[in-house]
Structure 1
């Protein structure tokens, strides 16, 4: 029996890193983090990526520190190499900040989620998209909002307030949740979900994420959803959708870049 080869979990983790952080020809990260370490959900695979701004010798030491280490005890457990990685970075560059969170793989054909609200996807008729021109929920710049609607920022899906009248003359659309494409490559795309305060906990983010994944399915890209250990609402979205846990992403950044 033949078919499309199933990617190895380590390859999927590498793809997710490259989706979220552009890499150069050496596989080195462009962006704020010194290091990203992806660990598979079963703890058997670790994929490190060092930043392009690091000296080559330091980057080599970091990657070498991961290779011989045993794998973590379980999902979300700190990688055994983490203290050594922190020591190497702080000795060379000063204090660091470590953040982590789970990542998931989205299979559009495996999602079984009943929509909780009317959805307008990015491939909707022009008249439907026109109804969203004045519906910016306030967390997008004016030009950015129109670029989003025009498809310049990748596929998206928006849920409308189910208690509001359908968009029409005199009744502007009221967007309560959005799933968009904050980053993508030819091989993968990351889901970016947001829900308006006052409408959270009702499944709307799961509704838009499911719709977004169906838009992405024809592209053949691997689809990812990631969050932080402290964002339980976002983790609940993954649970509602029955997403497959892929692993944990450990990000080591300069302390000055830590969120207040």
Structure 2
């Protein structure tokens, strides 16, 4: 991979020809489908991405907002000469929250870190056998048919294994019978692709209770990254500030922090 300097704060080491601002914008567009105006579709009113170095603040607004309100929200997030701490509320947050609440009622604020996944920089020893979506081992796939861990509905699990829901990697319990025994596999961790575009893909990771804290989530995330990397997409991993287990996965893999995503949403239970 190559890198280049640019006028928006420099390239991320190891990232493929992209600035920090480019990468943050790409991740927003990966997680939330975005129209030609740059307005996203999703459960939030607004997202403010703050780069890890605090030099960039990228606002994005939802497509359900009235145009005058959207324009006011975007105008409120102004460039700053001094860096801001990404884990602290952005300076514009009180203003945009006031604008939203005046127009739409109560607003819930949440946030979490975002990381860039660089497969060629990951050095991590697998903790369990892994099956990937590019496997040609029909017995391994057959063993997974009856291995739904219970957090996927039947149709979604079938579509996942059939390749209709993007790339995936699954860690199997080392103590379980091998796939060639004809018995269902015992899946202990999954990394799949909940969302992707032509330019990027987001990792979605889960580990079975009772198998957490053993490094399995890092194992499947590393395997997933090496599977998707040849497509040329930028790879992202994000979580919430309160999800320490998920943040531990990023630390195990030594993922470079990209930024912090601040989300302003309707309170739980209130429809858009």
TM tier, smaller: over 0.9
| 1:16 corresponds to which of 19, 27, 48 | 27
Give the superposed CA RMSD: 1.6
Report the CA distance between 1:77 and its aligned residue.
Answer: 1.2
Retained in 1: the 8 A contact 2:24–2:58?
A: yes
1:54 is aligned to 2:62: no
Partner of 1:110 in structure 2? 121
Quote the Cα distance in structure 1 between the aligned partners of 2:92 and 2:80: 6
Contact kept in structure 2, 1:105 and 1:244, CA below 8 Å: yes
Find the counterpart in structure 2 of residue 148 from structure 1.
160
Point out 4+ residue stretches in structure 1 off by more than 4 angstroms: 2-5, 68-72
8 Å contact 2:56–2:79 — kept in the other structure? no
- Mapped to 1, the partners of 2:90 and 2:24 lie a distance apart of 15
| 8 A Cα contact 2:139 2:179, kept in partner | no
1:100 aligns with 2:76: no
Change (3 A) 1:62 1:135: same
Whole-Å Cα distance in 2 between the matches of residues 251 and 105 of structure 1? 19
Number of aligned residues: 257
Q: What is the Cα deviation at residue 74 of structure 1?
A: 1.9
Aligned partners of 1:39 and 1:45 also within 8 Å: yes
CA distance in structure 2 between the aligned counterparts of 1:192 and 1:207, rounded to whole angstroms: 13
Cα pair distance change 1:206/1:91, threshold 3 Å: same
| CA–CA separation in structure 2 for the residues paired with 1:68 and 1:137 | 46
The 2-side partners of 1:124 and 1:178 are apart by 15
Equivalence for 2:215: 203
Residues 108, 213 of structure 1: 8 Å contact kept: yes
CA contact (8 A) 2:57 2:79 kept: no
Match of 2:241 in 1: 229
Contact 2:53-2:86 within 8 A present in 1 as well: yes
Q: CA deviation at 1:162?
A: 1.5
Contact 2:55 2:84 in 1 (8 A): no
Aligned to 2:259: 247
Maintained 8 Å contact 1:154/1:180: yes
Secondary structure of residue in 1 paired with 2:218: helix
Alignment of 1:113-124 (within 5 A): 113-124=124-135
Bigger Cα displacement from structure 2, 179-188 vs 120-129:
120-129
CA drift of 1:181 comes to 0.3
How many angstroms apart in 2 are the aligned matches of 1:54 and 1:136?
A: 39
Q: For 2:126, what is the secondary structure of its paired residue? A: coil
2:14 maps to none
Of 77, 88, 92, the residue aligned with 2:99 is 88
Structure-2-length-normalised TM-score? 0.91
- 5+ residue gaps in structure 1? none
Question: What do residues 108-145 of structure 1 show as CA deviations (whole Å, max 9, x unaligned)?
Answer: 11000000000000011222111100000011011110
